[in-house]
């Protein structure tokens, strides 16, 4: 299922079987699969743990998974399911003490902090929480900067206003992110529509790009993806 601009009432369901998609992307040369439990992100509970476990059990792709991970028990369960990296969203804002302890205990390489943002009238990226339902006044830069001393390695940033729109990624946002925090491996999400967007994102310096709708609707030909494989 895909959301449109973070709206659960504007979701699109696809008939694709998750395990079949994993096999397809692995055959193309991908090394990582990004999985979001949307029910968990909205409700704070892991609603699709069976799917995550099945995907990780294939042991053909590394799984980066998130959605609803807001306490230590949920984080442990996600790792127990087989996720190689776990994505932490709302808790990065609501419970920074715990998140800092997770970075230390589990290692910065296994934790991805996800900051979903909407641009305000002044063009400043403001962070949303709880499955994109709650808007905060905190800027992306302050949110990331709060973890500057914690050895943060991976940050996933989604421009909610572009998510699911096929309108093109917010290149200016990711360029600024890399300039402000060059030691972080940034993952860009939202608006990707074709191979040209992947090329443009690579030029900003981001470490990875996450695509959902464009891949599910087969809008990116293999020839356009090939330069970015097998590092996907």
Give the model's pLDDT for residue 38: 64
Residue of higher predicted confidence among 185 and 222: 185
Q: What is the pLDDT of residues 91-121, one digit of tens each?
A: 999 999 999 999 999 999 999 999 999 999 8
Give the model's pLDDT for residue 208: 95
Across the chain, what does the average pLDDT equal?
86
Cα atoms in the 13 Å half-sphere on the side-chain side of 126: 12
Q: Is the pTM of this model over 0.85?
A: yes
Q: Is the pLDDT of residue 226 over 60?
A: yes
Q: What is the pLDDT of residues 205-224, one digit of tens each?
A: 999 999 888 888 889 988 88
Give the model's pLDDT for residue 2: 44
Band (pLDDT 50/70/90 cuts) for residue 5 is: very low
In the block, residue with structure tokens 């470490």: 207
- As given in the structure block, the two tokens for residue 59 are 């042991």
Longest CA–CA span in the chain (Å) reads 46
Geometric angle at alpha carbon 162, from 161 and 167, rounded to 5°: 140
Give the model's pLDDT for residue 17: 81
**What are the backbone angles phi and psi of residue 168, rounded to the nearest 5°?**
95, 145
Q: What is the DSSP letter of 119?
A: E
Mean pLDDT, range 116-136, rounded to an integer: 83
Q: Which of 66-70, 112-116, 121-125 has the lowest mean pLDDT?
A: 66-70
- The number of domains in the chain is 1
Band (pLDDT 50/70/90 cuts) for residue 227 is: confident
Q: Is the pLDDT of residue 42 over 80?
A: no
Domain membership of residue 183 as a residue range? 2-228
Highest average pLDDT, of 53-62, 174-183, 206-215, 219-228, comes from 174-183
CATH number at residue 82: 3.20.20.70
Cα separation, 129 vs 131, whole angstroms: 6
Mean pLDDT, range 176-196, rounded to an integer: 96
Q: Is the pLDDT of residue 149 over 80?
A: yes
Give the model's pLDDT for residue 65: 93
Host H or E run for residue 194:
none
């Amino acid at each position: 299922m895909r959301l449109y601009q973070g709206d659960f009432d504007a979701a699109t369901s696809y008939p694709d079987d998750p395990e079949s998609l994993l096999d397809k992307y692995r055959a193309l040369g991908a090394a990582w699969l990004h999985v979001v439990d949307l029910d968990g992100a909205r409700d704070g509970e892991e609603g699709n743990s069976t799917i995550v476990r099945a995907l990780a059990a294939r042991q053909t792709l590394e799984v980066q998974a998130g959605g609803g991970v807001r306490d230590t028990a949920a984080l442990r369960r996600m790792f127990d399911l087989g996720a190689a990296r776990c994505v932490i969203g709302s808790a990065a804002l609501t419970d920074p003490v715990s998140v800092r302890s997770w970075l230390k205990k589990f290692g910065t390489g296994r934790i991805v902090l996800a900051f979903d943002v909407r641009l305000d009238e002044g063009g400043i990226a403001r962070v949303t929480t709880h499955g994109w339902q709650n808007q905060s006044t905190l800027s992306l830069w302050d949110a990331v900067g709060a973890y500057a001393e914690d050895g943060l390695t991976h940050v996933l940033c989604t421009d909610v206003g572009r998510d699911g729109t096929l309108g093109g990624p917010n290149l200016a946002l990711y360029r600024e992110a890399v300039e402000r925090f060059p030691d972080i491996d940034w993952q860009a999400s939202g608006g990707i529509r074709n191979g040209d967007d992947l090329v443009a994102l690579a030029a900003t310096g981001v470490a990875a790009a996450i695509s959902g709708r464009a891949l599910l609707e087969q809008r990116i030909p293999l020839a356009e993806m090939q330069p970015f494989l097998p590092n996907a």
